Structure 1
Amino acid sequence: MRQVLWFRRDLRVEDSALLANASKNVLPIFIFDKNILKKLDKNDKRVTFIYKSVLELKKKLQGLNLDLAIFFDEPKNVFTNLKKDGFDEVLCSVDFDSYAKNRDEEIESILPIKRFIDSFILNPNSHLKKDNTPYKVFTPFYKSLNIITQSYNIEEYSFNKNLEKIEFDYSFIPTLEQMGFESQELPEFLSKDAIELLEEFRAKVNKYQEERDFFYIDASSKISVHLRFGLISPKQVFNYFKSFGSADCEFFIREIFWREFYNYILFHFPHSEFDNLNKLEIKWNENEEDFIKWCEGKTGVPIIDAAMIHLNNTGLMHNRLRMVVASFLTKNLFVDWKKGEEYFAKKLLDYEASSNVGSWQWSSSTGADAAPYFRVFNPYTQSQKFDKDGIFIKSVFKEFENIEPKLFHIENALQSNLFVEYPKAIVDIKLSRQRAIDKFKEAKNEQF
C-alpha cells in the first residue's frame, strides 16, 4: 500500500490524524493550490505565513525520517501524476466549505480518499438533537457536549512509528516570487509557535472574560491563525487549559466550541455559505459607494473607520470590533452580509469559512442563533463603552492624538473641531437602525 498523506490546513506532526492512521509506505505532500492562490493579492500576508509553516513542517517530518514533497499546481494535476506513479490512496483532513468538498470529489475520481476529522474536535454528524435534527442554537448545542467539555483530556493522535518514506524527489521548493507573491512582514506574534502563545495567554486567562471586549487591551490568545492553519489542533488547546483545572479557563474553552458550532452549522446547512440560512428574502441596499467607504474606513464613524483601516493594514481585527463593523454594514448601511464576508475573507489573517460565514449571518440576523433583527449595535455607544479614552482609535488615527476622546463617541462631533478634517457620517444611526428594523419586519411578514 502506497499512501499519499495530503497536508492542507493541518501543518503539524503532533496530534496528526494522517501520521496516526497511515500504514507504512507514505508520501507526505503539500500543494500550493493554484486555484486558491490565483484569487489572492500578491501581498497577502497569509501566503508568507503558510509558506514558512510548510517549510517548518518539512523540517519536522525530516526529523521523523520522513519528508514533504511540495507542489505548486492544481490538485487534479498532482494526483493524476501520482496515480501514474502507482499510489493507491490519499489520506487527508476533511473540510466542509464548498471549494474543499468539490476539490475532494474531483480527487476522489482519481484516487480513493480517506478523510479524517482533524481541524476540529467534533464530528458534526455525531451530535444531533433527540429527534436527529441538528442544533441551531449554541447554548443547547454546548450543553449537549457535557461529556466532552467536562472531561479533563481528549485523546490525541499518536504518531505511527512504523511509517517509511517512499523514494521520491523531495527537492522542489518553489519560492514565493515564483508563485507570484511578495514576502511580507508578519505581526510579531506570528514569529512564535503556538505553545509559546498559549503560555503567554495563560498568564492573563483569569482576566479574559472581563477584558476581552475592550478594543485597546491585549486580552486575546492570538492563537486563531495557528488554529486556522493547523499548527496546533483544537484538542491540544483544549487539553492545555484543562490540565490546569482552573475555572478561569472554562470561559475560554467555551469559546473554542463556538468555532466548533459554526463548523457544525456549515456541515448541516451547506447553503448557508452563500445564502441566508433562515431563507429570508431581503432587499439589500446595493449602493456600491456605501460598501466601498466601509471597506476603506471612510464612513465618518470613528470606531468603524479605525477598525477597517487597522484590518486593511494588519489583517487583524478585535472580535467585538468584527461584530460592530458587521452590524454597521448590514443594519445601518443595510448592505448584504455576503459582501462583508467576502471582504473579510480577503483580509483576515485567521479567515476560516465556517466561522466567518457563521459570524456574519449572526450579525445580520439571517443565520443560526442569530442576533434578533432589532438588535443593532450603536457604534458610538460601543466605542464609549469599550474604548472610552479613544486609545484604539488614536492608535490608528495619529492625527487625532490631541482630540478630546468624548468627540469620538458623539455622532458627527469631530466636525466641530477646526483642527481635523474628517467626513460627516454617511448615515444617520437612529434613522438607519429604524430602516433596518422596518425592512426585516417586512421580509418576515412576506415569508409568512
Structure 2
Amino acid sequence: MKQILWFRRDLRVTNSALLSKAKDEVMPIFIFDTDILNSLDKEDKRVSFIYKSVLSLKKQLKALGLDLAIFYGKPIEIFSKLKPLGFDEILCSCDFDDYAKKRDEQVDKIITLRRYSDSYIIKPWNALKKDGTPYKVFTPFYKNLSFIWESDALEEFEVNKDLKLITYDYEQVASLESMGFDEVELPSFLNKTAHELIEEFSSKIEDYEEQRDIFYKSATSSLAVHLRFGLISSVEVFNKIKKLKGANIEFFIRELFWREFYNYILFHFPKSEFENFNGLEVSWNQNEEDFERWCEGKTGVPLIDAAMIHFNKTGTMHNRLRMIVSSFLTKNLLIDWKKGERYFASKLLDYDASSNIGSWQWAASTGADSVPYFRIFNPYTQSAKFDKEGLFIKSVIPELKDVDPKLFHKEGALANSLFVDYIKPIVSIELSRKRALEAFKGAKNEKA
C-alpha cells in the first residue's frame, strides 16, 4: 500500500486521522494551491501564518521519522505528476465548500481520494432528526448531541508508528517570495501555540460568558485561526476545556458547537453558499459607494468605522463587532450579505467558509436559525453598552483619542461637534431601520 497523506486544514500530528489511518508506505504532502493563492494580496497575513505552520508541521513529522513534501501549483497538475509513482490512494480531511468539492472531484479522477472528517467534532451526515432530515435550528441540533458535549472526553486518533516514508526529494521548499508573497508581521497571538492560548484562556474562562462581549478586552480564547488551519483539532480543544471544569465550561463548549452547526448546514445545504438559505427575495441596495464606505470604515458611525479600520489592518474582528457591522451592512445599508461575506473572506485571518457564510446569513436574517428580521443592532447603543468609555474606538482612531466618549454613543454627535472634524453618518439609524423592515416584510410576503 502506497498512500499520499495530503495535509490541508489539519496542520498537526496530534489527533490526526491521516497519521492514524495511514498504512505501510506514505508520502505526506502540502500544496500551496495557486487556484487559491492567485486571488490573494501579496501581504496576506494568512499566507505567512500558513507558511510558518507548514514548516513547523514538516519539523514535527521529521520527529516521527517522516517528512513533508511541499508543492506550489495546481493540485490536479501536481497529482498528475505523482500518479506514475504508483500510489494507491490519497488520504485527506473533508472540506465542504464549493471550490473544495470541485477540486476533490477532479483529484479523485487522478488518484482515489479517501476523506476523513477530522476538522470537526461531528460527522455532519450522522446528526439527523428522527425522520432522517437535517436540523435547521441550532438549539435542537445541540440538544440532540448532548451525549457528546456531556462527555468528559472524546476519543482522539493515535499515530500509526509503523509507517514507512517513501523516498522523494523533501528538501525542495518554495520561499514565500518565489510564490509572490511578502513575509509580514503576525499579530502576537499567532506566535503562540494553541496549547499556550488554551493555558492563557484557562484563567479567563470563568468570566468568559460575562466578558466575551466587551470588545476592548481580551476575554476570548483566540483559538479560531488555529482551529481553522487545524494546528489543533476541535476534539483536542473540547478535551482540554473539559479538563478545566467550572461553571462556564459548557457556555464555551456551546459556542464551539456553533462552528459545528454552520459546517453541518453547509454540508446539507450547499446552495446556502450562494443563495439565501430561507429563500427570501430581498430588494438589496445596489449603491456601490455605500458598500465601499462600509469597507473602508468611512460610514460616519464611530463604532462601525473603528471596527472596519481595525479589521482592514489586522484581519481580526471581535465576534460582537462582527454582528454589529454585518447588521449595519445588511439592514441599515440594506446591502446583500454576500458582498460582506466575500469582503470578510478576503481578509479574515480565521476565515472558514461555513462559519463565515452562516454568520453572515444569520445577521442578514436569511439563514438557518437566523436573527429575526426586525432585530437590528443599533451601533450607538451597542458602543454605549459594551464600551462606555470608548476605549476601543480611541485605540483605533487616534484623532478621537481626546474626544468625550459620550459623543460616540449619540447619532451624529461627532459630525455636529465644533471641536471634532468627523464625517456625517451615511444613513439615519431610524430611517434605515424602517426601510429594512419594509424590505423584509415585502420579501416575506413574496414567499407567502
Q: Shorter-chain TM-score category?
A: over 0.9
Paired position in structure 1 for 2:365: 365
* 3-state SS in 2 of match to 1:143: helix
- Indicate yes or no: 2:385 matched with 1:376: no
**Aligned residue identity for 2:447:** Q
* Counterparts of 2:283 and 2:224, CA distance in 1: 34
Paired position in structure 1 for 2:160: 160
Q: TM-score, length-normalised on structure 2?
A: 0.99
Paired position in structure 2 for 1:433: 433
Paired position in structure 1 for 2:238: 238
* Counterparts of 2:306 and 2:276, CA distance in 1: 29
**Aligned residue identity for 1:424:** K
**For 1:46-445, what aligned pairs fall within 5 Å after superposition?**
46-445=46-445
* Counterparts of 1:245 and 1:209, CA distance in 2: 15
* Counterparts of 2:82 and 2:419, CA distance in 1: 65
* Counterparts of 1:135 and 1:117, CA distance in 2: 19
Question: How far off its partner does 1:298 sit?
Answer: 0.2
* Counterparts of 2:380 and 2:247, CA distance in 1: 34
* Counterparts of 1:116 and 1:364, CA distance in 2: 32
Moved more, 394-403 or 231-240: 394-403
- Whether contact under 8 Å (2:92, 2:115) holds in the other structure is yes
**Aligned residue identity for 1:221:** S
**Aligned residue identity for 1:6:** W
* Counterparts of 2:174 and 2:246, CA distance in 1: 45
- Whether contact under 8 Å (2:202, 2:244) holds in the other structure is no
- Whether contact under 8 Å (2:213, 2:320) holds in the other structure is yes
* 3-state SS in 2 of match to 1:126: coil
**Same amino acid, percent of matched pairs:** 64
**Aligned residue identity for 2:384:** Q
* Counterparts of 2:359 and 2:77, CA distance in 1: 35
Q: What do the CA deviations read for 1:175-212 (whole angstroms, capped 9, x no partner)?
A: 10100000110001111100000000000000000000
* 3-state SS in 2 of match to 1:114: strand
- Indicate yes or no: 2:16 matched with 1:19: no
Question: How far off its partner does 1:420 sit?
Answer: 2.2
- Whether contact under 8 Å (2:16, 2:158) holds in the other structure is yes
Paired position in structure 2 for 1:32: 32
Q: Which runs of 5+ in 1 are unaligned?
A: none
* 3-state SS in 1 of match to 2:125: helix
Q: TM-score, length-normalised on structure 1?
A: 0.99
* Counterparts of 2:89 and 2:255, CA distance in 1: 36
Paired position in structure 2 for 1:10: 10
* Counterparts of 1:248 and 1:258, CA distance in 2: 16
* 3-state SS in 1 of match to 2:414: helix
Q: Which runs of 5+ in 2 are unaligned?
A: none
* 3-state SS in 1 of match to 2:179: coil
Q: What do the CA deviations read for 1:88-147 (whole angstroms, capped 9, x no partner)?
A: 100000010001100000000001111001110110010111111111111111000011
**Aligned residue identity for 1:427:** V
- Whether contact under 8 Å (2:301, 2:425) holds in the other structure is yes
* 3-state SS in 2 of match to 1:208: helix
* Counterparts of 2:57 and 2:269, CA distance in 1: 33
* 3-state SS in 2 of match to 1:307: helix
What's the RMSD between the two structures over aligned residues?
0.6
**Aligned residue identity for 1:371:** V
How many equivalent residue pairs?
448
* Counterparts of 2:45 and 2:259, CA distance in 1: 23
Question: How far off its partner does 1:24 sit?
Answer: 1.1
Question: How far off its partner does 1:13 sit?
Answer: 0.2
* Counterparts of 1:401 and 1:115, CA distance in 2: 52
Question: How far off its partner does 1:446 sit?
Answer: 1.1
Runs of 4+ in 1 over 3 A off after TM superposition: none
Q: What do the CA deviations read for 1:38-96 (whole angstroms, capped 9, x no partner)?
A: 01000100000000000000000000000000000100011101111111100000010
* Counterparts of 2:244 and 2:340, CA distance in 1: 39
**Aligned residue identity for 1:307:** A
* 3-state SS in 2 of match to 1:416: coil
Question: How far off its partner does 1:282 sit?
Answer: 1.2
Question: How far off its partner does 1:334 sit?
Answer: 0.2
* Counterparts of 2:267 and 2:109, CA distance in 1: 22
Q: What do the CA deviations read for 1:375-424 (whole angstroms, capped 9, x no partner)?
A: 00001010010111000000011111111101000001002322322110
Question: How far off its partner does 1:367 sit?
Answer: 0.3
Question: How far off its partner does 1:425 sit?
Answer: 0.4
Question: How far off its partner does 1:286 sit?
Answer: 0.3
* Counterparts of 1:415 and 1:422, CA distance in 2: 5
